[in-house]
Amino acid sequence: MKMAVAGLAYLFEFAAGAVAGALGMVPFLHTNLLLEFTKNAFAALGLAVFAAALAFSHSVFEIIPAVFLFVPSGGQALSMLPAHSLALKGRALFAARTVLHSMFYSFLAALAILPLAIVFLPPLFEAVRPYSAFLLAAIVAGAFAMERGKKLAAGVFIFLLSGFFGFLLFSFPLQREPLFPLLSGLFGIPAVMLSMNGKSVEPGKDEAAAVDAKMVVVGAVLGMLSPLLPALNPALLSGLALIFLESTPVAFLQVNSAVASSKMLYDFTSVFIAGKARSGAAVAVKEAVFRLEWSQFVSVLAAGAAAFFAALAVVLFASKKLSTTITALGNRLNLVVLGLIVAGVFAYSGPAGLFTAAVASCIGLVPALVGTRRSHAMGALILPSMIYSLGLAGEITRFIKS
Amino acid sequence: MDDNRLAVACVFLALAGIALLVIAVREAKPLAVEISDLDAGGAGKLVEVSGFVSSVSESGGNFFIKICSTGCVKAVVFKKLAEEMRQYSIDLSLLKNGQVITVTGTVAEYAGGIEVVALDRGSVELSGRSG
């Protein structure tokens, strides 16, 4: 009864978060940005509930623009995201449904292994901490293992270039929040620019989703382990998994979506069981709740799960309609979206943010132009984490300032 | 312009941007932060913390200075830098509890705690005694 009353008390925060998550349909309107503009309206556990509902709901709604918009031209096939390669073959609706179904089953699998994770993750955090830089290096090396020759060299160069750029941005107080302009430049702006040469995508024929239990379980387990190390993202973990599993666009979609929904669950879980926040929404939860109690954990998780399933139901039910509407806007949206990103970066980070986004865009365009993977540009987050874990930040800072 | 030439142009523009950033970074002043605001999320950041010396210890030539104000944090000055400081600016072995101190350095997480690792020989400044 007490729980039910407490639940009702945060009904408004839950509903606000779940509805705000629908803004995931607007390209590049990231959860962190939405939280930045809305979090002052809530406090304490209410803010935690709002942040969780927003993050889970957003993760579902953002699938629509991710699949149906910003499809580059066929010439950039190697750097193309798997959903886009399916979209160009007239299977966009199939790609979206496969992602949504895989997310659904992975979330259930992630929930099923939650008791195990609560027992084993805290000691694992302690065990992994001294070796985190080496583990990150091993994962990155695994991602490079899929490249050969010039593409490998280009991948390593992009990783190091973006990594050094990220280190400069995160280590020195040149701008307040460099993450949004950095990621917009590395991924958002190049995606829009490349898709200007691409063609608009039709939803395609009405195919049922393809769900693979093996990919779902692998994704759920990788998502559970992802908070152990900083800067890990679903694309990197999925790439690693596919070294050992079947590597096709559909397999990538299945395992990547499975990692994404499980990671979301464990980003919040790790706040409560280890005090580690690995996403913007998890940071908001960590700052909002002063005492990390189990009742609060249950409230945050329940809000997130409810928002997730509600958003899934809406998007699955309306996927065909939503995809038709969004693709009807098609390439005409490109300039509008580009303008929105630039305006957003300026509003959020000022002229310094525009400079960051411009340099990051130059780096972000290179993978597509030379035909290597876009995810190498995640070096901007991974390399600084490795430097910090190895305790080398002081040496490098001293070298730069000397 | 073909894709390869455009890629080369992008790389040169990115390198030029990063070079400008390095110039800005060399001139950048560290961020003055409250000790209570330091956490593992700030690892790697160049900061400036101020407070009074609560304790000083030395081990193998490395100095560990506990600085307190809104909270307490350990500042670390490694042996080589401490010797340089002794030569050019300040002898850390003469630090006294209660002295007001400002340390510039990078935030690091060590053994579950947060510390500020002094950057160079100008990283430690003294300005009298507290209350």
Write out pLDDT tens, residues A315-332: 988 877 777 776 676 666
Interchain contact, B44 vs A401, CB within 8 Å: no
User: Which chain A positions have a beta carbon within 8 Å of B106's beta carbon?
Assistant: 171, 393-394, 397
Would you state the pLDDT for residue B64? 92
Q: What is the mean pLDDT of residues B19-36?
A: 87
Interchain contact, A365 vs B17, CB within 8 Å: no
More confident residue, B108 or A324: B108
Distance from the Cα of A30 to chain B's closest Cα (Å) equals 20
Looking at the DSSP bridge assignments, the partners of residue B86 are: none
Is beta strand B31-32 parallel, antiparallel or unpaired with respect to B46-59?
A: parallel
Q: What is the mean pLDDT of residues B61-71?
A: 90
The C-alpha atoms of residue A97 and residue A64 are separated, in whole angstroms, by 10
Per the CB < 8 A criterion, the answer to whether A268 and A117 are in contact is no
Number of Cβ pairs < 8 A linking chain A and chain B: 99
Would you state the pLDDT for residue A366? 92
Three-state DSSP at A389 gives: helix
A355 at B interface, C-beta within 8 A: yes
Would you state the pLDDT for residue A200? 60
Interchain contact, A362 vs B14, CB within 8 Å: yes
Which region holds residue A153: left if phi is over 0, alpha if psi is between -120 and 50, else beta? alpha
> Directed axis angle between helix A149-171 and helix A379-389, to 10°?
60
B62 at A interface, C-beta within 8 A: no
Cα A146 to Cα A16, A142, A149, A376: the distances in Å are 43, 7, 11, 12
pLDDT of residue B74 exceeding 60, the answer is yes
Which region holds residue A67: left if phi is over 0, alpha if psi is between -120 and 50, else beta? alpha
The C-alpha atoms of residue A170 and residue A165 are separated, in whole angstroms, by 9
Residues of chain A with pLDDT below 50 are: 1, 73-79
B61-76: string of b/e by CB count within 10 Å (b at 16+)? Answer: eebebbbebeeebbbb
A73 at B interface, C-beta within 8 A: no
Nearest residue in B to A366, CA atom: B7
Read off the pTM: 0.80
The C-alpha atoms of residue B84 and residue A1 are separated, in whole angstroms, by 66
Would you state the pLDDT for residue A197? 67
The C-alpha atoms of residue A188 and residue A190 are separated, in whole angstroms, by 6
Q: State ipTM.
A: 0.82
What residue spans define the domains of chain A?
2-401
The C-alpha atoms of residue B30 and residue A61 are separated, in whole angstroms, by 40
Percent share of chain A, pLDDT over 70? 89
Other CB atoms within a 10 A radius of the CB of residue B49 amount to: 25
Would you state the pLDDT for residue A331? 66
Residue A112 burial class via C-beta count within 10 angstroms: exposed 0-12, middle 13-18, buried 19 and up: exposed
Q: Which residues have CB under 8 Å from B29's CB, separation 6+?
A: A173, B48
Would you state the pLDDT for residue A146? 73
Per the CB < 8 A criterion, the answer to whether A270 and A227 are in contact is yes
Distance from the Cα of A144 to chain B's closest Cα (Å) equals 20
Would you state the pLDDT for residue B130? 53
Is beta strand B46-59 parallel, antiparallel or unpaired with respect to B99-110?
A: antiparallel
Would you state the pLDDT for residue A19? 93
Q: What is the mean pLDDT of residues B13-17?
A: 95
Q: What residue type is B114 in one-letter code?
A: I
Nearest residue in B to A393, CA atom: B44
Q: Which two tokens stand for residue A215?
A: 């990919």
* Cβ-nearest to B108 among A283, A366, A391: A391
Interchain contact, B106 vs A397, CB within 8 Å: yes
Distance from the Cα of A374 to chain B's closest Cα (Å) equals 13
Three-state DSSP at A377 gives: helix
